[in-house]
Amino acid sequence: MKFFIDTADVAEIRDLAATGLVDGITTNPSLVAKTGRDFIEVLSEICEIVPGPISAEVAAVETEAMLAEGRRLASVAGNVVVKVPLTPDGLKACRALSDEGIGVNVTLCFSAAQAILAAKAGATYISPFVGRLDDIASDGLALISDIVEIYECYPDFTTEVLVASVRHPMHVVDAAKLGAHVATVPPNVLRAMFKHPLTDRGLEAFLADWAKTGQSIVGDGEPAALSPAAEERRRA
């Protein structure tokens, strides 16, 4: 499963990208508005930090205007994926942009029927919103299961299932069990995935035992020795 981070906060992106776990970024107008910065400037900066797909959403609602905005966004960097809503106009724009070789993320998906239409329109990604479905007492993960099952029946469908509106780590785990290709998560959810009380307790015990030895793996002023493989990479 690929991990995208759902944010437009450049500082958060830099920090999480350093873990090596970030495959891409998703943004939307609401996330960009929180930064208080110029949209194109933020998008350009994000594209330089993360080489993977960066979803940037159009603000227009009519096809021709979506196409104009989508082409402008795609011109910012080669890894921009244009995000369009799952509407008739959005799917028309999806088909046109896809035919031009521009990646498209079709967002605001809430049914399997919509996901079929997006795949037929050439979407690179379909974004079902699991959390928002859960909020109205519907089963968001059941939708993921349905879409994955349908897509697997049709080899010509190349659209990847991008699980959105993720609220907690179990959304990610359960979506991974169902075979979803991507989960886009807020920074706090990715950080929560690191945490487990037994990990913290075990590390605390190991450190306490090590302190009793009075030893140091790297002495004061002593440079850390590189492994042979690391030394070879350094010299290359």
Active site residues: 83
Alpha-carbon 44 to chain mean position = 17
Collapse the DSSP code of 209 into the 3-class scheme (helix H, G, I; strand E, B; otherwise coil) and give the result: helix
Q: Where are the alpha helices (DSSP H) in the chain?
A: 10-17, 29-35, 39-49, 63-74, 88-99, 112-120, 130-135, 140-152, 169-177, 187-194, 197-213, 228-235
Evaluate whether 66 touches 47 at the Cβ level (below 8 Å).
no
Question: Residue 165, by phi and psi: left (phi above 0), alpha (psi -120 to 50) or beta?
Answer: left
Evaluate whether 134 touches 114 at the Cβ level (below 8 Å).
no
Which residues make Cβ contacts (< 8 Å) with residue 1, sequence separation at least 6? Answer: 172, 175, 176, 180, 181, 182, 183
Residue 143 phi/psi, 5° resolution?
A: -65, -40
- Taking the C-alpha atoms of residue 198 and residue 91, their distance in angstroms, rounded to an integer, is 47
